[in-house]
Structure 1
Amino acid sequence: MSVVGIDLGSQSTKIGVARNKGIDIITNETSNRQTPSLVGFGPKSRYLGENAKTQEISNLKNTISSLKRLVGRSLNDPEVAIEQEYITAPLIDINGQVGAEVTYRGEKQRYTAVQLLAMYLGKIRDTASKELKLPVSDVVLSCPPWFTDAQRRAMLDASQVANLKLLRLINDNTAIALGWGITKTDLPEGDAKPRRVMFVDIGYSDYTCSIVEFRKGELAVKSTVCDRHFGGRNFDKALVDHFGKEFKEKFKVDINTNAKAKLRVAAAVEKLKKILSANSAAPLNIESLMEDKDVRATLKREELEEFVKPLLDRVTVPLEQALAEAKLKVEDIDAIEMVGGCTRVPSIKDAIAKFYGKPLSFTLNQDEAIARGCAFACAILSPVFRVRDFAIHDIVNYPIEFVWEQSPDIPDEDTSLTVFNKGNVMPSTKILTFYRKQPFDLVARYAKPDQLPGKTNPWIGRFSVKGVKADANDDFMICKLKARLNLHGVLNVESGYYVEDVEVEEPVPEAKEGDKMETDQPNGDAEAQPKTRKVKKQQRKGELPLSAGTASLDEASVSSFAEAENQMYMEDKLVADTEDKKNELEAFIYEMRGAIDDKYSEYANEQEKEKIKEKLEKTEDWLYEDGEDASKAQYIAKMDEIKFSAGPVIQRYNDKLEEERQARLKVEEEAAAKKRAEAEAKKKAEEASKKAAEPAKTEDAEMKDAETTKPDSVEEPSAGK
């Protein structure tokens, strides 16, 4: 089982995986640590990730970006119109959801944003699986904290279509905080003052500021503020507009009339912007931009800051709002951690440092912090790894209320209730109580629609409660509904049940020592019996069936999308396999053409050589004419025909190699046997030499003993004689 965290970005995506030595960011097929968040469609197959980026300029009308910023939205959302400025494919309405119309395999096709995101997630899944050499299923996916319930449900649906089990949809800022805090061993404990860190994340398309409190083993998000249209692409757009005017005046070309030229300028200014982060000036040169004209220009950092001054004026606004919502001051913040590619811009760093009054912190990897946090979150939820206990307390970003029809039996009943307030801890569960005599419906919606992105419909879901009826005394049924805002930030009414008031006896709690009153007790009275009292308590009596209508796709739609995705996946695989066989055939033709007069030359007569060369020439002609769009089976058949013609020659060559190999083995074996025999003979000679030396040594020893030993027959004279 794999543990994978995915940072789904507007421009690119990073994949973090948990391994025994920690978290790694894996590379894709081109050895890049980030994969472009693009989906493209071609005449034969889809282009996903790196392939889509390669084909983007030549395939503008069929390439879609900003995938995560489209899901869960409708075409009439004004923020979708903003996204169309950055997306070259036309956006359309598909059953109330935004989608794209493209030309795929020669036909016009329409795909919803959920389908497009599912296609891209499938690519990310395969990239991770190839690196890990394991099937990938369990993942944690990041999303912006400003996502609504509908957008989060769309992310869940896309993951399901891509055959991924989404363990948690985690906010970007929360993932960053988790990656920062889980590795710290010096966090305060108990009642000590928590460590407060402000995380500033400015990426390609949005800006998030979040204040998080850390204690040992836990983090608590205190406030989160977002600017949804402040990021690297806004800087790029300001530069494109500037150079568009300059090129029109200086070189008489209007890039706004040529989508390809505009995209090339956008790519060039993105590089220029990065150069200006470390240099005071940078050149811009584009060859044959349009109308066969080369363009060139130079830009200074001061000029860039002037163009983006309206953006820079907004830098400190989220910082101020985050402090206000958390009811804190600048001096209460222990550190400001900077994350995101756009935080490399010197003017942004200077503005934030001036606001904070202290040096900024860059201890996290600015590009990969979210992916690492997602991988940690996945490891926590997965049984594969043992991870240090770390609790995550996120917050509700938009207040949610329930609305219902007034009961005819309760004329003064309130018909709405804000159940989850902004800043409440998430995940969270609330129990709602209703008194009813008949089935009823309730609607969940956002309490303050003006806080939502764009013109998002504040409606979240409608929930119908069945099985409600009056009791035998024509009295109300007490209905309890369990509303939960889960790990993903998605609201559901998970269950319903009814209760009844019943009388039960319970012991009366004893009075405290100081509250006892002196009373006369009869002498010899037995020990007082514990006092009890009757109280009314609610007991659960049965379940109430529920039906829900939400923004999530129904099972039939998910199955239909998944089936279509599987079919396209297999078509892509067939196209890739076919291309591999075509390339293999082409390479084999060139290899055989050189080998027939080289290494195979002495193994073929002239007639065989001519026959093989003729076959190679015919196959090559076919390959570049009729065989340009042949099937996989045809390429395999052509390869087999060449191998059949050249087979006898190749076999002779292989037989000769085998013969030489056998001869070489025989020589090596003989040499080894000779070496073993010599070693054995040497060993025997040494043993014989040792044995020959042993008797001589024994005889000498005996002679020496004989000289020193007296004969038994000689008697020593005694002293008394």
Structure 2
Amino acid sequence: MSSFSTWEPHPPRYSLHSTVSQKKKGVLDLGNIKLLSTQWSEFVGGEDYTARLAHHLAKKFEEKHGTDLTKEDRVMERLRGFAKKAKEVLTANSETIVFMETLYNDIDFKVTVSREEFEEMCADLIEKTLEPVRAALTESKLKMKNVDALEVVGGGARVISVQDKLNQFFRKGVSHSLNGDESIALGAALHAATLSPMFRVRSFNLDDAYPFGIEFVVSGTGDTAEKSYTLFKKGGSVGVKRFVNIPRTEDFHITLKYTDDTIPREFPADGRIAQFHFKNVQESMKDFSEALEKDKDAKTKVRIGFELTSAGMLRLHSAQASLEQTVLVPIPAEREQKTNDTATEEDLKTDEQKKETEQKAEEVKYKEEKKVTKINIEYDVNSFTLPALSEDQLKEMRTRMESFERIETARQLIAKSRNELESRVYATQSLLYDEEFEPFYVEEESAKLSEVLTASDDWLMETDEDPSVTADDYKKKLQEIDALAQPIKERKEEVNKRAEQVDACKSLFKLTRGLVAEMETNSPHITEEERNNLLNAVSSTEQWIDEQMEKQKATPLNQAPIVTSTEIQTQCAKIEPLTMFLVNKPKPPPPATPAQEEDKNAETEVPKEPTPEEPTEEHPSQSEEAATPEKDEL
């Protein structure tokens, strides 16, 4: 299987990887995939083909106009955009015309590029395509007959000559069952979901291979020289640990490096990754000195553990000084459980026999066991690949990240504005061809709108991938279209909305008149004047609507409406509060009966008080009672 993926030296490029997968019993087991080999080249990706074509266009421009565009970064960026489109067109066509409006100094440039011409300028790149393929087959120790399918993804795989080259080499058709723009991202997402405990996915085991070889070099002593050992071999599995036992009693260091045949291109020539300095080895061994004096067979060593994670990250996870001894450990005596029978037999034994049994029980048996004592060793790391960043560098990187975020936000806004403009252009163009909209615009409006739409469509094509275009530019074009198209849409929408609103008002008027008729019979507390005022308001509103609708019928549909549905709704809304006022008017209390009147008068009658003009007479009985002294209570 041959696939394209991203490799990121400086500047970033697309690289060709050749990967061979294994089949079992003639059926590809997607649940268990083993990676046998990974090879790549940083110089035969889709971006390299685009760069070749862009320089070809610059050369054609120089031949015709005498200006070297390769020195103009902004112009070359535009050329790469045109070259990328031309490359994609040549995948399905034998030739294409590249037209670049105002490419440089307001000069329009047009050139024809054929597929044959494109393949000729990229011949060396096409030939290099097979180099990593051959290397992958060699490393995996597979023969051509063992390869059942060839799957290609990525920009470079779309080049017809690349596909032909692979077909000739493998003598079988190239498969395009995977979406080249999505397969790498989807595969990474599936693998991440498999590793994560947060997702439940079907069993999918990937036995990945590490494309580099890692070895470690132990520093020498006075009597011994440096020694190099293989830690992880090229093509080995990831997600594994390796432990190294080093017979040292003094401080030393270990250097990790790539093997000579797998040093990445951007690494130093010596391939060094990191160096670990183990500091307290000698002090740790002193703690073992007493045990070594007592036990001459005891052994000391330094045990270091390395891990190659499933993500291909190399780390040192443990470093310990250890003392290994052989010690005698007592074997616990087995005690017999006494039953009723054994107790009877024990009682029958003589004193001499009992004493002999007790002596045997006191004899202790021993067995040999290995005892390992461990002490953690401190170490320092000196990385040759990722040096520590200073505060100034961190500050600069944060500033750059904030700048990238602003740029990305602006880019997303521009993309959203562009998509909105494109959608509006296509939707409005279909409006002009819709028979339902034809009565709602005049010929002058149609011609002007069609002119603006054509100009906007051409502008979109010309400014595709133009970094100078901003979101405001797209919004201005959008507003220009809406200023012409919106009145036409509103006229059509008003026809339906106006009719619906008139029907709603008519229903309201009918309901109100029915309520007024019921009020005359069932609500005598509502006066005739109040009922007439409501009916007059309904009649005047209805008359206004009828007059406006008569004027509207005489007005062409392609003209501004005489009356809108909103205006009709506003007039009708005045009737409802008048109606609700009468509906909610409280009834007066019923008149009182004669009996209720008498009770009311009795409750409210107050004794008449004497006035100064009419002095009251004093009765003897009343005066005597008042003069009688109170009697003592017995």
Identify the TM-score tier after normalising by the shorter chain: 0.5 to 0.7
For residues 261 and 421 of structure 1, what CA distance do their matches in structure 2 show?
Answer: 47
Alignment of 1:483-562 (within 5 A): 483-503=306-326, 534=368, 537=370, 539-550=372-383, 551-552=385-386, 554=388, 560=395
Q: 1:565/1:282 Cα in 2 relative to 1: closer, same or farther (>3 Å)?
A: closer
| 1:551-578 C-alpha deviation (Å, 9 max, x unpaired) | 44648759756764686589889999x9
SS in 2 for 1:206: strand
The code of the aligned residue for 1:484 comes to E
Alignment of 1:576-591 (within 5 A): none
Deviation at 1:240, TM superposition (A): 2.5
Q: Higher RCO, 1 or 2 (CA under 8 Å, sep at least 6)?
A: 1
Partner of 1:647: none
Give the structure with the larger strand fraction: 1
For residues 21 and 80 of structure 2, what CA distance do their matches in structure 1 show?
Answer: 36
Q: Highest CA radius of gyration, 1 or 2?
A: 2
The code of the aligned residue for 2:150 comes to I
The code of the aligned residue for 2:376 comes to E
Alignment of 1:404-443 (within 5 A): 404-408=218-222, 411-412=223-224, 415-443=227-255
Matched-pair contact (CA < 8 Å) for 1:497–1:540: no
Q: 1:248/1:492 Cα in 2 relative to 1: closer, same or farther (>3 Å)?
A: same
Partner of 2:160: 346
TM-score normalised by length of structure 2: 0.53
The code of the aligned residue for 2:379 comes to L
Matched-pair contact (CA < 8 Å) for 1:461–1:549: yes
Partner of 2:8: 69
Matched-pair contact (CA < 8 Å) for 2:319–2:377: yes
For residues 153 and 228 of structure 2, what CA distance do their matches in structure 1 show?
Answer: 40
| 1:508-537 C-alpha deviation (Å, 9 max, x unpaired) | xxxxxxxxxxxxxxxxxxxxxxx99746x4
For residues 351 and 541 of structure 1, what CA distance do their matches in structure 2 show?
Answer: 60
Deviation at 1:416, TM superposition (A): 1.7
**2:253 equivalent to 1:444:** no
For residues 45 and 101 of structure 2, what CA distance do their matches in structure 1 show?
Answer: 28
Partner of 2:108: 294
Partner of 2:274: 461
Alignment of 1:60-99 (within 5 A): 69-70=8-9, 80=10, 83=11
1:335 to 149, 158, 167: 149
Q: 1:268/1:555 Cα in 2 relative to 1: closer, same or farther (>3 Å)?
A: closer
Partner of 1:268: 82
For residues 404 and 73 of structure 2, what CA distance do their matches in structure 1 show?
Answer: 30
Matched-pair contact (CA < 8 Å) for 2:4–2:152: no
Deviation at 1:303, TM superposition (A): 1.3
For residues 325 and 206 of structure 1, what CA distance do their matches in structure 2 show?
Answer: 19
Matched-pair contact (CA < 8 Å) for 2:193–2:201: yes
The code of the aligned residue for 2:377 comes to L
Count of residues in Structure 1 that have an aligned counterpart in Structure 2: 389
Partner of 2:215: 401
The code of the aligned residue for 1:210 comes to T
Matched-pair contact (CA < 8 Å) for 2:220–2:226: yes
Q: 1:278/1:490 Cα in 2 relative to 1: closer, same or farther (>3 Å)?
A: same
**2:138 equivalent to 1:324:** yes
SS in 1 for 2:102: strand
Alignment of 1:116-135 (within 5 A): none
Unaligned runs of 5+ in 2: 24-28, 293-298, 330-364, 418-470, 487-565, 584-634
Q: 1:569/1:251 Cα in 2 relative to 1: closer, same or farther (>3 Å)?
A: closer
For residues 347 and 575 of structure 1, what CA distance do their matches in structure 2 show?
Answer: 38
1:213 to 12, 19, 22: 22
Partner of 1:390: 204
For residues 570 and 317 of structure 1, what CA distance do their matches in structure 2 show?
Answer: 39
For residues 539 and 407 of structure 1, what CA distance do their matches in structure 2 show?
Answer: 26
For residues 373 and 571 of structure 2, what CA distance do their matches in structure 1 show?
Answer: 87
Matched-pair contact (CA < 8 Å) for 1:449–1:456: no
Q: Percent identity?
A: 24
| Between 541-550 and 469-478, the greater mean CA deviation after superposition | 469-478
| Between 307-316 and 260-269, the greater mean CA deviation after superposition | 260-269
Partner of 1:157: none
Q: 1:368/1:574 Cα in 2 relative to 1: closer, same or farther (>3 Å)?
A: closer
For residues 69 and 367 of structure 2, what CA distance do their matches in structure 1 show?
Answer: 86
TM-score normalised by length of structure 1: 0.47
For residues 239 and 300 of structure 1, what CA distance do their matches in structure 2 show?
Answer: 11
2:177 to 344, 363, 371: 363
The code of the aligned residue for 2:81 comes to A
Partner of 1:285: 99
Deviation at 1:245, TM superposition (A): 2.6
Matched-pair contact (CA < 8 Å) for 1:407–1:436: no
**2:90 equivalent to 1:308:** no
Alignment of 1:683-698 (within 5 A): none
Matched-pair contact (CA < 8 Å) for 1:468–1:477: no
Alignment of 1:29-44 (within 5 A): none
For residues 473 and 235 of structure 1, what CA distance do their matches in structure 2 show?
Answer: 68
Alignment of 1:190-229 (within 5 A): 205-213=14-22, 215=29, 217-229=31-43
Deviation at 1:209, TM superposition (A): 0.6
Q: 1:532/1:663 Cα in 2 relative to 1: closer, same or farther (>3 Å)?
A: farther
Give the structure with the larger helix fraction: 2
Deviation at 1:657, TM superposition (A): 8.7
Deviation at 1:466, TM superposition (A): 3.2
| 1:388-410 C-alpha deviation (Å, 9 max, x unpaired) | 222222222221111122134xx
For residues 574 and 241 of structure 1, what CA distance do their matches in structure 2 show?
Answer: 31
C-alpha RMSD over aligned residues: 4.5
Q: 1:465/1:455 Cα in 2 relative to 1: closer, same or farther (>3 Å)?
A: closer
